[in-house]
Amino acid sequence: MDLKATTAGPAVRTSRAASVIGVASGIGAPDRRCGEGPPRLIAGGLLERLTARGADVVIQAILRPHYLTLYRAISDLSIRLAREVALVLESGRFPLVLGGDHSCAIGTWSGVASALARRGSLGLVWIDAHMDSHTRATSWSGMPHGMPLAALLGYGEAKAVTAQVASTVTEGTLDPRHVSLVGIRSYEPAEAELLDRLGVRIFDQRQVDARGIESVLDQAVAIARTATGGYGISLDLDAVDPQEAPGVGTAVAGGVPARPLTAALAACCGDESLAALEIVEYNPHRDRHGRTAVLVENLMAAVLAPTDD
């Protein structure tokens, strides 16, 4: 599969041969029950339903933390996840990481960047209510799920993990020129200052409301596709309006509407520049009537299984 950036234009929608990596860990979040999300979804028949919808999808692994010490556990889990992601890419399949709390992004995107380093830099679209760009020096909570993007950009203690995984990258796993955030509506000044200084493009929720998610995501993907190695999408479910996706740990009022987001992601189906997809922070204990679980399936199907719509 050629993952190099292609010329702009509508993608031909074809089914992807995808391998799912579940990250059954909530240790980086205040409510650790999001770690139960991936195994619950998989045991509940998620992959079978996706197959029935036309997806070519198999399970690669379900990873769990090994250590009691928080940052040692995050480091170890990130390195193991990065290796699994790289194995999927090397096999010619499409990695779909299903978290768990968002600290797993350190492993996901370090692994993708490392596997594709020979082709060039990696772009990333980060869809989230939060910036996730704290370090331990700026975070009042100390929770690692609020730090992964800073780590991937080369800041904070967790950057040592990215350096171990993506040894070909000297500063950070990601080049900020190819990174954008979508749906932001809750953050602290220190995070905004770091991203502004680095030149990371922010599309906050006000812009999504004004322009529509389809237009915003199209622009964010265009920024990510300037990277020559391909791009990824990291989607925290708390980006979605909690009225439609209640099953998350850190809900924020407002947000991206579910159906337009699903339709916007479907536009990426068949885009060979898209190297991987990550969907995180599903918390089954906070879900109501299975609405968030259904959304996870629909989001995955939008990228993995083309329709005639």
Q: Which of the following is catalytic: 130, 175, 271, 278?
A: 130
Q: Which of the following is catalytic: 84, 191, 238, 297?
A: 238
Q: How far is CA 117 from the centre of its chain?
A: 19
Q: Which of the following is catalytic: 101, 191, 236, 297?
A: 236
What SS3 string covers the chain? CCCCCCCCCCCCCCCCEEEEEEECCCCCCCCHHHHHHHHHHHHCCHHHHHHHCCCEEEEEEEECCCCCCHHHHHHHHHHHHHHHHHHHHHCCCEEEEEECCHHHHHHHHHHHHHHCHHHCCCEEEEECCECCCCCCCCCCCCCHHHCHHHHHCCCCCCHHHHHHHCCCCCCCCCCHHHEEEEEECECCHHHHHHHHHHCCEEEEHHHHHHHCHHHHHHHHHHHHCCCCCCEEEEEEHHHECCCCCCCCCCCCCCCECHHHHHHHHHCCCCCCCEEEEEEECCCHHHCCCCHHHHHHHHHHHHHHCCCCC
66 belongs to the catalytic site: no
285 belongs to the catalytic site: no
281 belongs to the catalytic site: yes
Q: Which of the following is catalytic: 84, 101, 134, 145?
A: 145
130 belongs to the catalytic site: yes
Q: Which of the following is catalytic: 84, 101, 102, 134?
A: 102
Q: Which of the following is catalytic: 191, 241, 278, 281?
A: 281
128 belongs to the catalytic site: yes
Q: Which of the following is catalytic: 84, 128, 271, 278?
A: 128
Task: Catalogue the active-site residues.
Answer: 102, 128, 130, 132, 145, 236, 238, 281
